[in-house]
Structure formats: C-alpha cells, structure tokens
Structure 1
Amino acid sequence: MVRREGPDGPVRLAFSAGDLAQMRFAVSPMWEVGTSMRLLRSGAAHPVHGPWTAQVRPRLAAAGLDRGWLAELVAPKGFVPDFLNPAPDGPAPTLEQELARVREAPAAAVRRDLDRLAREQGRLGPRSRALYADPQGRLARVAEEVRQYWELALGPYWAQIRTVLDADVFHRSRQVAEQGAARLLNDLHSSLSWSDNALRLALRRRALSRSTAGSGLVLIPSAFTGPVPLTRVAPPEPPQLAYPARGTGSLWASRPAVAGTALAAVLGRSRARLLAELDTPASTSELAARTGLSPAGVSQYLTAMRDAGLVSAHRAGRSVLYARTAVGECLLTAGSA
C-alpha cells in the first residue's frame, strides 16, 4: 500500500482490451483493517471519523493492540506490507477468507515487504524482526491479532461501513453500464485520469507498467483510505486501487429520532427502542443506563434480536458490544419511513 507524490508527472498504466475486461470491483475487509489502523496510529483528529476514533482508541489501548503486531506493521504514513492486502478472490471476501491468504503468504514476499518497511522506517520493531526470522511460524500470530482488532474496531460497525461501500459499488457499476469505463476511471478521484487507453495516477511516484503490475485492475472502495487513492502492486496478482468511497462523509452522522410506532407494534416497544439506540455499538449495561430497562431485560431482548439476525455481538475485553446488522438497519429505516 503506497501513497507518494509524483514529482515527474503522473504515472501511466496502459490497458489492453483484456485488461479492461478483467477490471472489477471488490469490497475488502483487510483494506479497511490497514487503512483504519493507520488512521488510529496517526493520532490526528479526523473531520469524518472522529466519533469512531473516540470510541475505538481506548479499546485498542486497553487490549494492548496499540503496541502489538499491527502497530509495528502499519505506520502512521507510508508503506504498509503488501502481504496484508492479498488480491480479493471475489467481489466480497470475508475477513476469514482474507486472513487465510495472509497466513499463506510466501516467506520471500513477507521478507521483501519487511525489507522495504525497514528502509522507510529506519528499522524494524521486535515483532517485525521475529516475523522476518520465521514468517510461516509468526503469520498465524499476525492473523490472530487482526481478528482481535476487527472485533474491537471494525466488526461492530461493519454493517454501516459495508452499506457505504456497497452503495459506492452499485453507483460505479451503473456508471460503467450507462457511460462506460472511461467515465468511471475519470470520475474516481481528481488525481486519476483516463486517456489514450491508459490510467494516469498523479500521486504515485514509483513507475508502473503491465510487466511489473500484472493484468486487469481491482477497484476497492474504502471508508478509511483518506483523501487520496492507494495502490498495491504485487504481480502476478492484478494491481489494486483503493479509493475513497462515496458517502463516507455521512458514515457516522446521527440518525434522526425514530417515532417507531409501526416497528414497536411488531417488535415490541423495548426491542424497537434498543434497536434504535444502536446507532453506535454498546454493551448491555450502557443500553440499560440509556433506556431505563433492567440489565437482565436488555440482555434477554438483545439475545432474541441476535438470534433473529437484527443485531450482532462482538467481544471487547470483558464486555460484549452489540451492533445493528444490515438486516436490523433496513428494518429500522423502513419502520421510520
């Protein structure tokens, strides 16, 4: 994953008819892991993700993840090891599918990425040095920490994030169907432009050619890439281009108060109230304090809604955070219409 300014003009990636035929979209959990961790490590206030960072940073510190494997591998800026972002096999791989690819990364590729990381950062941390010495033995540890990070930082919010990413893919796909691939590539970001059968990347410094990049192109909408696109080039896999997804600016916007009369008639007033309260993930005790319901009652209602697929549960230390699923989100939206 690279973000660099291009001093000698835009880098040019040529496209054949075959490359255009292989261009596709994918939603990648691992791209959100790396980019979100980088945002957290930067320590900077963010105009969009402030509500999310305020909730997540204390959880990571309590779990020690602010000084673990990911903290060494994902710097606040610059290169992120390519083995953390394998090319998605399909349009929406699960986290577990991508972690399986991470665990299977060739030792030579891991060491090559760590060599570059050492050059850019000046040195490797102790965990990164251990990974360099024994990639196959340590990648499982990295994958396990990624899973823990997901449970704390992204899993509880994934329904919201995924809604934004899917909406972007839907919009872009329709754009291709109605206006063609050239319009899509020109519209992705101001630093990207299409002409003469080539994509020009104004913010990439390293040279790029089909002999070094592989065929096709995987376009990855992301909520956490920041203001500019990121690229990942690791042939023979296709190059990846992660770009800021449309709608990210409203990702954490507060939902208007929901009357919920119709929804309460179906779910019951207490369940409907709890579903509406989950604009941000919360524990049983937090929800009980907000609603005035007993902790035992809240637990019972949440269990029923979890079994029905309306909420999901994510362990955060000694607590369990509950979050609305996509199904719960749709139900709440319909009930407030």
Structure 2
Amino acid sequence: MVRYELVGLDLADIRFAVSPLNELVLSLRAWRDPGRYPLHLRWMHALEEVRGSLDGAMLLALTNARLWTPDFLNPRPYSPLTRIDDELADLADTDPAVVRRDLEAVHGGPLPDPLRGPAPRVLSRIIDALTGYWRLCFEPHWPRMRALLEGDVTFRGRQIAQHGLATMFSELSSRVRLVGNAVEVELRSKLDYTTTTTGGLTLVPTLWTTHASTPISADEPPMILYSARGVATLWEPQPLQAPRALSGLLGATRAGLLVQLGTPASSTELAARLGVTTTAVNQHLRALRTGGLLVSARHGRAVLYRRSDLGDLLAGVG
C-alpha cells in the first residue's frame, strides 16, 4: 500500500493534470500484454501495419512482466494542457544517474539489451523510440484521447464541489480512499511506503490502468494515476450528424464532416473518429475543399482542415 499524508495546505493543493508522455509510456503495457486491455484492441489492430517501423525492442524494454514502467518516464504533469513536445524536452535533461536507477528498479536483475550501455546514449535512444511511437501511433488519435481525459477532469472537479474530497477519492477506484488526512492506495504489487505530499498531490486520469497506480519510488512527487471514465467508448466509431436539409444537399457524410470541421482536424484523426479509412475521408475532404467549403493548412506533419467562411454560412453558423 502507498499512503500519502496530506499536511497543512496540502489539503487544498490537490490538482488534476493530463500527461501525454504518461499515456504514451503506459500504453506499452498493452503491447506487452494485450489481453489485459481488451478495450484497446481496435486501436492496437489499427497500428499493426506501422509497428514494424518502430524501435519495438526498445519500447518493449520499457516495461516488465508486472507492467511497471520507469518513474522518470512517468513525470508529474502540472496542467490539463501539458504538451508532448515540452515533456520530451524535459525528459532529455534527466540526470543519467536517475535513468540508470529507475531502469534497474523496474527490471531488478540484468537490463534488457536495448537498455545496456552509457545512460546518456540509452536515454537518447529511448527518446527517439518514443518520438517515433508518438508520431505514428498516438498523434493522429491524441485529440480524441485528450478530450476523454479532460472530460474526466471536469467531472471530478464538479464531484468535489458537490460531494467533497472523500467521495471523489472513493470513486477514483475501489482501491483509493481518504482516511483522515491521508490518501491510501492499495496496489496489486508489493510496493509499501508512506510519505507526505509536500508540494501537493497530483491526480492523473489515464487510459491504461484498470485501478490505480503510483510512482515506484517514495522519492518521486506524489501522484496517483487512475482509470478515466468512458474508456469503453473511446474507440467506438462516432456517427456523423448534420441537419437533414444539409445532408440532402451534400450527402450525409460530407454534411457531417462539414458540421464537425468547425474545429480543425486532420484526415487521419477524422478517419479514426469515424471508423473508416483515411482514403475514404480524403475523397470527401477534397470535394468539400474544391467546392470552397473547407480550407486547409499544414500543421507540423499533418494537414488540418476546417470550415471556410462559406462553409460556416452553409452549416448555419455564419
């Protein structure tokens, strides 16, 4: 059991945050043991064609049979709006001694081959592997994931306001509870430590745990990762909705895309949302853009589409 004692002002310093890097690293649990994560099988099947171009040996070395991951790869985030580029930049500054310590804590005995060698070189390879994994497997789906995680944070804040901290903690997981001024987290592992929450306690919703987890080391900033609400619906195709008149004019699919594209999105993201191929979505997007209803702009590696002024008028929002 891990026990976080809330001292003084720490009682008021309980914050929620979202970490793209946490989600990226914790998802490797599903690579190692997909049977434990049946809700994500649709996503995993969709990634099979790109996994061969990743540094799979390194990525799998970042977990063990108990599905632990190194603490330095699960940093405490400070905002629901944390950016992956910022987290990867911070990761590059990790003390080599911390890298070595945390990898050894996860694996116990001899390190897997990809993790052997000077710590700075190992860290560089880890960052390269995670960056490639993010670009190919996470980035197209992150808006959808982030929306679910941010929705959970909103729900928990409302829960605190309406029912108090004890109720909120008890509903994070059956293994989390507030007892007096201490938060207790029962873990399936043999971790056992008690520490005070100097600097506050951060609660992090995640898509990749079934109950709750904490850092391995008591020296890490206090943090509880818990299962976000609604994970079961994450990979379900989302129906396109549009006014009947607009559907009659453009067709149901193009009308639905026009309605959705008040917020910029890429064809890959839209395909993931709708459960169709990127090629099919691109055909509709090109037709809408040719008709002057969409505009597009490159954003990093992706092309984002959004409604034009004419598209706004046609969708009834102009």
Checking the alignment, whether the CA contact within 8 Å between 2:63 and 2:106 is kept in structure 1 is: no
Deviation at 1:216, TM superposition (A): 1.9
Checking the alignment, whether the CA contact within 8 Å between 1:82 and 1:232 is kept in structure 2 is: yes
Instruction: Report the Cα distance in structure 1 between the residues aligned to 2:65 and 2:168, rounded to whole angstroms.
Output: 30
Task: Give CA-to-partner distance per residue, 1:227-249, whole Å, 9 cap, x none.
Answer: 11111155665211110001111
Instruction: Report the Cα distance in structure 1 between the residues aligned to 2:167 and 2:55, rounded to whole angstroms.
Output: 41
Deviation at 1:298, TM superposition (A): 8.2
CA RMSD of aligned residues (A): 3.6
Deviation at 1:186, TM superposition (A): 1.6
Aligned to 2:309: none
Checking the alignment, whether the CA contact within 8 Å between 2:62 and 2:69 is kept in structure 1 is: yes
Instruction: Report the Cα distance in structure 2 between the residues aligned to 1:301 and 1:223, rounded to whole angstroms.
Output: 39
Call closer, same or farther: CA 1:287–1:138 in 2, change over 3 Å.
same
| Structure 1 stretch displaced more, 46-55 or 240-249 | 46-55
Call closer, same or farther: CA 1:301–1:107 in 2, change over 3 Å.
farther
Deviation at 1:32, TM superposition (A): 0.6
| Structure 1 stretch displaced more, 178-187 or 138-147 | 138-147
Task: Give CA-to-partner distance per residue, 1:253-290, whole Å, 9 cap, x none.
Answer: 222353454666999977545567632577653446xx
TM-score for the superposition, normalised by structure 1: 0.74
Aligned to 1:102: 91
Checking the alignment, whether the CA contact within 8 Å between 2:64 and 2:107 is kept in structure 1 is: no
1:243 pairs with 2:226: yes
Out of 189, 193, 201, the residue aligned to residue 208 of structure 1 is 193
Checking the alignment, whether the CA contact within 8 Å between 1:157 and 1:323 is kept in structure 2 is: no
Checking the alignment, whether the CA contact within 8 Å between 1:13 and 1:200 is kept in structure 2 is: yes
Deviation at 1:173, TM superposition (A): 0.7
Checking the alignment, whether the CA contact within 8 Å between 1:82 and 1:113 is kept in structure 2 is: yes
Equivalent residues in 2 for 1:28-39, closer than 5 Å:
28-39=19-30
Matching residue's letter, 2:204: I
| Structure 1 stretch displaced more, 271-280 or 108-117 | 271-280
Instruction: Report the Cα distance in structure 1 between the residues aligned to 2:67 and 2:106, rounded to whole angstroms.
Output: 9
Equivalent residues in 2 for 1:162-177, closer than 5 Å:
162-177=146-161
| Structure 1 stretch displaced more, 251-260 or 270-279 | 270-279
Aligned to 1:51: 42
Equivalent residues in 2 for 1:30-179, closer than 5 Å:
30-44=21-35, 46-61=37-52, 63-67=53-57, 69-75=58-64, 77-119=66-108, 122-130=109-117, 133=118, 135-179=119-163
Matching residue's letter, 2:190: R
Instruction: Report the Cα distance in structure 1 between the residues aligned to 2:42 and 2:11, rounded to whole angstroms.
Output: 39
Instruction: Report the Cα distance in structure 2 between the residues aligned to 1:287 and 1:86, rounded to whole angstroms.
Output: 36
Instruction: Report the Cα distance in structure 2 between the residues aligned to 1:268 and 1:155, rounded to whole angstroms.
Output: 29
Instruction: Report the Cα distance in structure 2 between the residues aligned to 1:282 and 1:171, rounded to whole angstroms.
Output: 30
Equivalent residues in 2 for 1:227-242, closer than 5 Å:
227-232=210-215, 234=217, 237-242=220-225
Matching residue's letter, 2:182: A
For structure 1, the residue ranges without an aligned partner over 5 or more in a row are 1-9, 316-321, 326-330
SS at 2:98's partner residue?
helix
Checking the alignment, whether the CA contact within 8 Å between 2:242 and 2:252 is kept in structure 1 is: no
| Structure 1 stretch displaced more, 268-277 or 81-90 | 268-277
TM-score for the superposition, normalised by structure 2: 0.78
Call closer, same or farther: CA 1:83–1:45 in 2, change over 3 Å.
closer
Report the count of equivalent residues: 297
Out of 238, 243, 258, the residue aligned to residue 241 of structure 2 is 258
SS at 2:81's partner residue?
coil
